[in-house]
Structure 1
Amino acid sequence: MKYIRTLLLLILCTTLQAYADEVPTIDPQATFTTDEGEETGTSYSGSAPLTVVFHANAENIGAYTPHYEWRFTKEGATQPYLVRYEEETEYTFTEAGSHRIVLYATFINGTDTVAYTKDYWQDAQPITIQISESKLEMPNAFSPNGDGINDVYRAKSNYQSIVEFDAYIFNRWGQKLYEWHNPAGGWDGKFNGKDVKQGVYFVLVKAKGADGRKYTIKKDVNLLRGYTETSGVNPTE
């Protein structure tokens, strides 16, 4: 009799464990695409625009029918500003501030429901994204002399969270020589494929930051073809 009770208990435990292994689970993760490449995790702090792919990472779905609801909320808000219903979804962040992303997932199999919703997220860690405030500066000069140092006129490397960008180079007569529309781009000191003369040119930049700040930058640009590192002049200042 004792042997039978032990055997029944073992069967029950095995059945319960098998059932537990079959219950659907989620493990939300995000893949962040930056200038340095891709990284996956549940938090990120950096500059906009930032493209992120969100993964539900659901397991043990079996015969259950899944329903997904990604909720994007800004810090201090009570309602999401965006809701997505895919198992995997992509979004590009262009607004500064703190963003909180949670996945409401419900799995239904007949009368059996497994839910990861409001109660679950009371204790679970959401995906958090911090988008920095914007910053943009343009240098006064550059030296396109082929030495591999400061050969291209572009935004200073400390720019961040710039979501709109238009830059134009003019000569002293107001003729447009070049334009570019990404802060990572720039002017190599050429017009129609030929080097322009050393001298003073003019840049006009209109841009917008993730924090809503608008930039209008107008300044002279000194093109210094004879500059070398030992000349004592820093053309990026």
Structure 2
Amino acid sequence: MNISLLRHIVLLGCLFVSALMQIHGASLTFSGISRTALSETPNSSSGLDAIYVLPTVSNASASYKASTQNVKWLKWGMQGAAYATEIPASNIIKSGNSYTLTNIEGNCGYTIEDGSSIHYFWIVDYSTHPYSVSAVHVDDDSDCAMTSLRTEGTADRIFYYSINARAYEIDRDIHISYLTLKSDSESFTFNQVTTDESVAYINGSIHVPSPLCDTYFKVSGDKFMSAWGVPMECISGYYNTSSVEAIVNVMQEERENDNEQSADMDDTALGGSAPCDISMKAVVSDAAIFHEWQITSDPSFNDVLLRATELDYTHTFSEMGSYYIRFMCADASGKCEWYSDTYTVFIGESRLLCPNAFSPNASPGVNDEWKVSYRSLISFECYIFNKWGVKVAEFKDPAQGWDGKYNGKFVPAGVYYYVIKAEGADGVKYDLSGDINIVNYK
């Protein structure tokens, strides 16, 4: 690997830097501690040059390399740097351009005046905020959406203060990892994955999105203990999930009939002309024991017309009106339920129009077939006769037509007669008859 690229990766991947890191051109070094002092980047509005987290301040000293011979140390707390008090020179050891403060205190701020330059630091005593989480359990009050984890031990909030006395929190970056299912709409499957949630602190309980499969919960942290090489982790007992979810797909089986009219409806709605076949498909997560498709004419689903328990189901809509479809699933207890979006199906009123002329074998593809224009017909019969009453054609699908042939040959030009019996999705019955003129015959 390219050396410069490797250095770049290391730089980006480092969560912590040593106490020698330069921030705003100033830094502190520490002695008398058993583990490395860790540096946190302060909020840009805090006015701080750096934040240091020490495992303990007991017997710790902080050193500053000055650029002038006129150096003062001041200490302040949550009230801000305006209330800083100067530290007596007797507490500071000078060696060359290095000024060392012995017996430092934690959870407070320090101001260093170096000639005309002023630098601000905050020191955290980690021993007053130890990570003590030793066990984790799933609480009984967990629900379908969120799982409550109860911990033995805590990792309380760590605050630092700006020079203007504003409180900021340090993220301890505690991780909760567990198995769940992730939906893949392209492959139409649920895949088991490990998910990782992060919290800034723990105060006896944690709330995470409920898993979609049975799992253990692992709590690990915090980032300071990990950086010091002593990561802490604990694992819960095995948890049986009750949370449910589904992947659904609702599609209309399209018909490419050039003589079928569409209905005036919302672009998001399915349907149009009856009979309309709607295909429904669902995949459910592990805990979903009960599932059904629901179809109704009531958008609030108070009165469900049809329930189908199949995951894959096709329904034919053959009556005019607006219908609503949704999918639901639930766990064995019925406590956890999941509902899909609602899909609207609109079936328009019926129509039937009959042309009175066509020209077979004249201009191929141009008015060379006799077809009705229709919408929402659920039954249809058409018979065509010549002037002597001989039936020359019949069909029972309104999408079909007559090509002007009888027994495989084009009939002579002239007048023919149709008789149609049909019924619409709106209950309208059609009993039609009329002339068909064959013109421009070759």
| Length-normalised TM-score, structure 1 | 0.77
Change (3 A) 1:78 1:21: closer
Question: What pairs up with 1:111-126 in 2 under 5 angstroms?
Answer: 113-116=335-338, 125-126=341-342
Question: What pairs up with 1:115-194 in 2 under 5 angstroms?
Answer: 115-116=337-338, 125-147=341-363, 148-156=365-373, 159-194=374-409
What's the offset of the Cα at 1:125?
Answer: 3.8
Q: Residue by residue, what CA displacement relative to the aligned partner does 1:16-42 show, whole Å, maximum 9, x if unpaired? A: 5474354321244311112259xxx97
Q: Residue by residue, what CA displacement relative to the aligned partner does 1:79-108 show, whole Å, maximum 9, x if unpaired? A: 222221111211111111000122231122
Q: Quick one: which of 237, 252, 271 aligns to 1:32?
A: 252
The SS at the match of 2:211 is helix
1-side partners of 2:431 and 2:324: how far apart?
Answer: 32
2-side partners of 1:180 and 1:89: how far apart?
Answer: 30
Provide the residue aligned with 1:224 in structure 2.
439
Provide the residue aligned with 1:104 in structure 2.
328
Provide the residue aligned with 2:126 in structure 1.
none
1-side partners of 2:341 and 2:436: how far apart?
Answer: 49
Q: Aligned residues: percent identity?
A: 34
1-side partners of 2:268 and 2:292: how far apart?
Answer: 17
Q: Check conservation: 1:73, 1:80, Cα contact below 8 A.
A: yes
Change (3 A) 1:112 1:192: closer
1-side partners of 2:275 and 2:334: how far apart?
Answer: 42
Superposed CA RMSD? 2.9
2-side partners of 1:72 and 1:151: how far apart?
Answer: 42
Change (3 A) 1:75 1:135: farther
Specify the code of the residue in structure 2 equivalent to 1:207: A
Q: Which has the higher helix share?
A: 1
Provide the residue aligned with 2:130 in structure 1.
2
Change (3 A) 1:186 1:36: closer
Q: Quick one: which of 293, 303, 309 aligns to 1:70?
A: 293
Question: What pairs up with 1:190-209 in 2 under 5 angstroms?
Answer: 190-209=405-424
Specify the code of the residue in structure 2 equivalent to 1:29: N
Matched residues, number: 211
Greater Rg, structure 1 or structure 2? 2
Provide the residue aligned with 2:428 in structure 1.
213
Change (3 A) 1:31 1:207: same
Provide the residue aligned with 1:235 in structure 2.
none
Q: Which blocks of at least 5 consecutive residues in structure 1 are unaligned?
A: 228-237
What's the offset of the Cα at 1:167?
Answer: 0.5
Q: Check conservation: 1:207, 1:215, Cα contact below 8 A.
A: yes
Specify the code of the residue in structure 2 equivalent to 1:95: E
2-side partners of 1:175 and 1:226: how far apart?
Answer: 20
Q: Which blocks of at least 5 consecutive residues in structure 2 are unaligned?
A: 1-128, 133-153, 156-171, 178-196, 199-205, 214-242, 258-266
